[in-house]
Amino acid sequence: MNRSDNKALTLKQLTLQLHPERALWAVQHPDGGWLRAFRHALGLSLRTVAAVLKVSPQAVHQLEKSEAAGSISLRQLEAAAGAMGCRLVYAIVPRQGSLAELAGAPPQAGRG
């Protein structure tokens, strides 16, 4: 698979993952992390992202590793996303069902 095919496949996979009709709880964390997945889907090199962040390509690689390991700070994640023309959206969602169900509250009429 060549570079443009890989980019197209990654872009398609992310688009399906983040489709507005898909429940947030169903979104799966990419194996290599969101930063790496987005960078690949956008066809950006480590060097390109590093130039925007004014850091070394190795520092961007380390950010990607930290994000995949779950040890990146929200501030770092937001900066890296911004360097790729994206924004960070942070959410906490129930693993299953609704927040009302998780809290043991009866669902409100007209909402599901």
- pLDDT value for 71: 97
- pLDDT value for 21: 63
Percent of the chain at pLDDT > 70 equals: 85
Q: What is the pLDDT of residues 42-77, one digit of tens each?
A: 999 999 999 999 999 999 999 999 999 999 999 999
H helical segments located in 18-90 = 34-41, 46-53, 57-69, 74-83
Whole-number Å distance between alpha carbons of 7 and 110: 42
- Domains located in the chain, CATH noted: 3-87 (1.10.260.40)
Q: What's this model's pTM, rounded to 2 decimal places?
A: 0.73
CA quadruple 63, 68, 31, 34: dihedral sign = negative
pLDDT at 111 exceeding the cut of 60: no
pLDDT at 109 exceeding the cut of 70: no
Whole-number Å distance between alpha carbons of 25 and 74: 20
Instruction: Report residue 89 CA to chain centroid gap.
Output: 9
